[in-house]
Amino acid sequence: GFSSLRDILNNAGYEVYTPSIGPVASNWDRACELYAYLVGGTVDYGAYHSATNGHDRYGRTFPGVLPELNNPDSELKVHLIGHSMGGETIRMLAQLLENGDATSAMPARRRYQPLFTGECRHWIESITTLCTPHDGSDDTKVYQNIGDLAQYAMGIIGTVTASNVNENNFGLDFKLDQWGLVRRNESYSSYFNRVINSKIWTQHTNDLSVYDLDVDGAAVLNGYAKAQDDIYYFSVACSNTHRDPLTGHY
């Protein structure tokens, strides 16, 4: 945490970007955001997915750091490196890029973005995951009895945005715009009431990271996001098991 790996790699001659996507959003939503970050444009979560999960279809707009990726004549490819949930997210992106999603690219739905068609140029060279819970993590079991409270707390903290940290602004941005959890030109009390009455809490959605990182959610992802034949996959396993000096347990 004391050095920027991006700066180290850039200084070594590599072209490296660190995307900014929703830290507690679902892998589907994060993959859509990562796509828009890379090629540019407004995030499109897909009409079917958005309607099914009860949030807005469109999100933030990005200028695009590598817009030529979608150029059919380009030979540019990227290497994607993801830590923890980031590893799941880039697997989801690869699945959508190379296979699309039939429910999101139905002609009757008129406008949809290339990500859902399965016709994108195959521009991922390799995927490397670091300490990614590909089969889910038992850590999420702590949320099973307080899941609603955990999601509520993440939303409250994460929706306060801007650069100046003060008593009304925690300086954090959890990027849940699709759920309407964005502070607008309004009083703090109005904003607070709008957040606590959001649909995200009342419908007990699985469209958040708490579910995707759980064993059950990971099983759903593994049944959907397959390994692609033209991508090199690398996975670095990590261990943080240690003895608790107070209990003697590990």
The larger pLDDT score, comparing residue 227 to residue 149, is at 227
What's the rounded mean pLDDT across residues 174-180?
84
Give the model's confidence band at 112: pLDDT under 50 very low, under 70 low, under 90 confident, else very high: low
For position 170, what pLDDT does the model report?
47
Give the model's confidence band at 165: pLDDT under 50 very low, under 70 low, under 90 confident, else very high: very low
Res 121 pLDDT > 60: yes
Give the model's confidence band at 162: pLDDT under 50 very low, under 70 low, under 90 confident, else very high: very low
Which residues, in sequence order, are CB contacts of 180 under 8 Å at separation 6+? 55, 56, 194, 198, 199
Average pLDDT, the chain: 83
Cβ(80)–Cβ(25) under 8 Å? no
Res 160 pLDDT > 60: no
* Burial (CB count <10 Å: 0-12, 13-18, 19+), residue 172: middle
For position 156, what pLDDT does the model report?
54
Cα–Cα distance measured from residue 178 to residue 54, given in angstroms and rounded to the nearest whole number: 9
Res 43 pLDDT > 80: yes
Give the model's confidence band at 107: pLDDT under 50 very low, under 70 low, under 90 confident, else very high: low
The larger pLDDT score, comparing residue 22 to residue 78, is at 78
Cα–Cα distance measured from residue 212 to residue 167, given in angstroms and rounded to the nearest whole number: 32
Written as one string, the DSSP assignment of the chain is --S-HHHHHHHTT---------SSB-HHHHHHHHHHHHH-EEEE--HHHHHHHTS-SEEEEE--S-GGGG-TT----EEEEEETHHHHHHHHHHHHHHH--TTTS-GGG----GGGTT-S---EEEEEEES--TT--GGGGGGTTTHHHHHHHHHHHHT--SS--BTTB-S-----GGGT----SS-HHHHHHHHHT-HHHHTT-S-BHHHHTSHHHHHHHHHHSPPPTTSEEEEE--------TTT---
The larger pLDDT score, comparing residue 157 to residue 139, is at 139
pTM to 2 decimal places: 0.84
Res 135 pLDDT > 90: yes
Determine how many CB atoms are found less than 10 A away from the CB of residue 73.
Answer: 6
What's the rounded mean pLDDT across residues 150-172?
51
For position 115, what pLDDT does the model report?
92
Percent of the chain exceeding pLDDT 90 equals 54
Res 186 pLDDT > 80: no
